[in-house]
Structure 1
Amino acid sequence: MPEPAPPLGLGAMSDDAYTAATFPFHEGDRILLHTDGVTETRDREGTFYPLAERVLRWADRAPRSLLKELTTDLRAYAGGPLDDDMAMMVVQRGPEAA
């Protein structure tokens, strides 16, 4: 498993060299891109939002529907307004899923 690189733009601050990891991205595959405002959303007890676990509920949805469900779940998890900015984007290769 490769070591994660620092966030974009901060790699120049390190003398460490990072190698890009590659993976197959086939027809119909999707990638969820998000800012830390998503994973740093907390519930009333202060527990971070379990994105990897929760997103599986809507993995078969079309990208637009997936983002809508995820946003609704984030707000419910937080129990009120979100405290941080967030951005999400689904990138899909090929036709949109049904």
Structure 2
Amino acid sequence: MAQINLRHFTSAVHEQADEWENVGVRWSLTVGSERDGRVASITCETGQVAVHLSVRGDGHAEMKVIKQPARQSSLYHYRLATAGDATACLSELTRQIIPSD
């Protein structure tokens, strides 16, 4: 299986960051060691939604979405191998964190 290039993911995060910040989303990106299998994780929060996305070096990604006030949660799994995959995954994160009116 193909490995995810960490640059694809971090680049896609920074492309989305302005949109998140413009609507008041608080976010943080953590890049870790491939030794433990986790390459990167991002946490995004508003008063209504919290999203945590973890990406492993093998390209498997998991996104947990918690919506307030009921603490309703959803879990999504992705397979990332390309820059397009990373962008699509982060677009879904954006749809979860920024509600469309």
Using the size of structure 1 for normalisation, the TM-score is 0.31
- TM-score, length-normalised on structure 2? 0.30
Higher relative contact order (CA 8 A, sep 6+): 1
